[in-house]
Structure 1
Amino acid sequence: MVHSEQGASDDPGTLGDKGDDLEKRLKAYEGRPSAVAGAGKDPVNAPMIRHWCEAMGDTNPAYAGPDAIAPPTTLQVWTMGGLSGHSGHIGRTEAYDELLALLDEAGCTSVVATDCEQDYVRALRPGDEITFDAVIESVSERKTTKLGTGYFVTTRMDVKVGEDLAGTHRFRILKYAPASRREKPPRRPRPVVNRDNSGFWEGVRQHRLLIQRCTGCGTLRHPWLPGCNSCGCPAWDTLEASGEGTVFSYVVLHHPPFPAFDPPYAVALIELAEGVRMISNVVGTPHDEVRIGQPVRLEFQQCDEELVLPVFRAREEAS
């Protein structure tokens, strides 16, 4: 899990001489509710579970059949209002809106989601009606990051079925004043490398696309995980991908502009010949010519002196 507060430093002066007074005002919101009496727009349901599992490539049998449970990581899904939102602004409090407005007034007009943490207490099953309440758990001291200077705001949401706590979802954002742009060209953001996926990125550095393979049941998986979703075995080895694949799905990014990226561009879900899927870019093809089912072939893109990324090119162009 990424914690974007890592590497942040205290900065006593960036937001002006009134910073101490601002921090006191921000701290006063800790413990106040950010959502009250929220309710899921739909019960936990089998179609959403199926969509989630198909998108994630998760074939765990616990998520299908008459005794199915919802994947634990869908905890927040059942609280979301979708594009239309929750009717009547349900759940959200004035306190949370006031906190964000106070940060806006202080110049922290930009926001980025940094990380989330979830604790699971009981399984959710189709038919469960969920409710939720949330609290402003903490507001950090002033921090300076590469994005700019601002404050980390953490909310804690308790998700219930009836009187029973199903799980807790902590969500952290950074509200910040953007840093001045540097003259040198921006670098592509670095991938998050941890103990579970370091072997994958070492393979990419060597221009090899490695797929995890469970040594218990032989199931291939991507992205890399510490254990097998199919049989639970923690042991694994790797298989080098052939590099052949097809575009399974894609989106075209038009907004927002971001340093080191030049929209519009296509982000595709590539189905490799081995059967697993991965997210990458389709290069060498205009964004409006990318198509589902389009044959592609792997290549490795040297983004800068340090970063190598696996990308895909339309097969007719690659040949």
Structure 2
Amino acid sequence: MSHEVEAGDEFGERLKAYEGRSAAVARPGKDPVNAPMIRHWCEAMGDTNPAYEGPDAIAPPTMLQAWTMAGLSGHTGRAHAYEELLTLLDEAGFTSVVATDCEQEYLRPLRPGDEITFDSVIETVSEKKTTKLGTGYFVTTRMDVRVGADLAGTHRFRILKYAPLRQTDQSGRRPRKKPARPRPVVNRDNAGFWEGVQRHSLLIQRCTGCGTLRHPWLPGCNACGGLDWDTVEASGEGAVYSYVVMHHPPFPAFDPPYAVGLIELAEGVRMISNVVGVPYDKVRIGMPVRLEFQAHDDELVLPVSRAREEVA
């Protein structure tokens, strides 16, 4: 019998005891808000809003978490309650993790030169939940970002720490069938996109106020702030703008190594998809690609980018 079963409700109570515990108090960001990071962010996102440039520039609000990130070297100081909680879950067999969603609230613009601090608290730990990925616990943290005494914004981040499902046949052996691919997070802001994908149509949002196209789907326009929009269907033509090759961590539903590309569509927006039809080590920036739709099972259809050129 696993530790998870033996612990039962007692284990859940141990996890619940972490609710309300601080994960960080007045921790400073590693860098001040600065123009180079804003520029890199905007280039990666294809965001040309003039509010992010010049002497009166502000940082894109969605960068809120970026100013708190620890980087490869991590934050200095003792291990905090959040790390203790994750270690406890790991030791109980809930070793896999997937980010499920985040929410941000913006109260004050951040500007180059601002020195931020942040407080982080473990807001909630769910009861044990069984999902298509496996059984585990949803952990939500809340981070309050400040400049001096002013609250600039709040970031809530939720993960699922889980033990992957291990199905067996009648003989007790695990089947050879490949596990199902993880499902995308579908919410009220992007449901129309995924409905289009199911019909093998890639829909791009278009602001009805200024005509600006945007992807991924957002509730408002980055260019004019308008909330009204319609859609245009992508032609399917594009090119590799950038890419990475995934080697680690292994996950049973995937076959690393494989290439994941940032694809610039002919319409001018960018999207992320796997690059197929060419060996992963032959993918190149600028390589022309064509949109395809791959059905992974009866429910899941995903857009991919197939290389259009022969590679020796």
Scaled to the shorter chain, the TM-score interval is 0.7 to 0.9
The question of whether the paired residues in 1 share the 8 Å contact of 2:19 and 2:122 is answered with yes
Cα offset for 1:262? 0.8
2:194 is matched with which residue: 160, 184, 201?
201
- Give, as a single letter, the amino acid of the residue that structure 2 aligns with 1:297: R
Could you say which residue in structure 2 is the equivalent of 1:83? Answer: 72
Give the Cα–Cα distance (whole angstroms) in 1 for the partners of residues 188 and 18 of structure 2.
Answer: 37
Cα offset for 1:270? 0.9
Give the Cα–Cα distance (whole angstroms) in 2 for the partners of residues 302 and 112 of structure 1.
Answer: 22
Could you say which residue in structure 1 is the equivalent of 2:142? Answer: 156
The question of whether the paired residues in 2 share the 8 Å contact of 1:35 and 1:93 is answered with no
Could you say which residue in structure 2 is the equivalent of 1:70? Answer: 59
Cα offset for 1:41? 0.9
The question of whether the paired residues in 2 share the 8 Å contact of 1:33 and 1:93 is answered with no
Give the Cα–Cα distance (whole angstroms) in 2 for the partners of residues 174 and 317 of structure 1.
Answer: 41
Give the Cα–Cα distance (whole angstroms) in 1 for the partners of residues 187 and 21 of structure 2.
Answer: 35
- Give the TM-score normalised by the residue count of structure 2: 0.87
Could you say which residue in structure 1 is the equivalent of 2:171? Answer: none
Give the Cα–Cα distance (whole angstroms) in 1 for the partners of residues 151 and 215 of structure 2.
Answer: 32
Give the Cα–Cα distance (whole angstroms) in 2 for the partners of residues 198 and 48 of structure 1.
Answer: 31
Q: Per the alignment, in what secondary structure is the counterpart of residue 85 of structure 1?
A: coil
Q: Per the alignment, in what secondary structure is the counterpart of residue 75 of structure 1?
A: helix
- Give, as a single letter, the amino acid of the residue that structure 2 aligns with 1:171: F
Cα offset for 1:84? 1.8
Deviations 1:236-271 (A, max 9, x none): 333332222111000001112223321111010111
1:176 is matched with which residue: 158, 162, 183?
162
Could you say which residue in structure 1 is the equivalent of 2:9? Answer: 20
Stretch moving more, 97-106 or 25-34: 97-106
Could you say which residue in structure 1 is the equivalent of 2:37? Answer: 48
Instruction: Say if 1:235 and 1:114 are closer, same or farther in 2 by CA, change over 3 A.
Output: closer
The question of whether the paired residues in 1 share the 8 Å contact of 2:262 and 2:273 is answered with yes
Deviations 1:5-59 (A, max 9, x none): xxxxxxxx98224322223333222222211331111100111111111211222
- Give, as a single letter, the amino acid of the residue that structure 2 aligns with 1:178: P
Instruction: Say if 1:303 and 1:317 are closer, same or farther in 2 by CA, change over 3 A.
Output: farther
The question of whether the paired residues in 2 share the 8 Å contact of 1:253 and 1:263 is answered with yes
Cα offset for 1:117? 2.1
Number of equivalences: 303
Q: Per the alignment, in what secondary structure is the counterpart of residue 18 of structure 1?
A: helix
Deviations 1:212-234 (A, max 9, x none): 22222222222222332112233
Q: Per the alignment, in what secondary structure is the counterpart of residue 84 of structure 1?
A: coil
- Give unpaired runs (5+ residues) of structure 1: 1-12
Percent identical residues:
80
1:251 is matched with which residue: 244, 247, 267?
244
Could you say which residue in structure 2 is the equivalent of 1:35? Answer: 24
Could you say which residue in structure 2 is the equivalent of 1:129? Answer: 115
- Give unpaired runs (5+ residues) of structure 2: 169-174
The question of whether the paired residues in 1 share the 8 Å contact of 2:108 and 2:153 is answered with yes
Cα offset for 1:93? 4.3
Cα offset for 1:94? 4.2
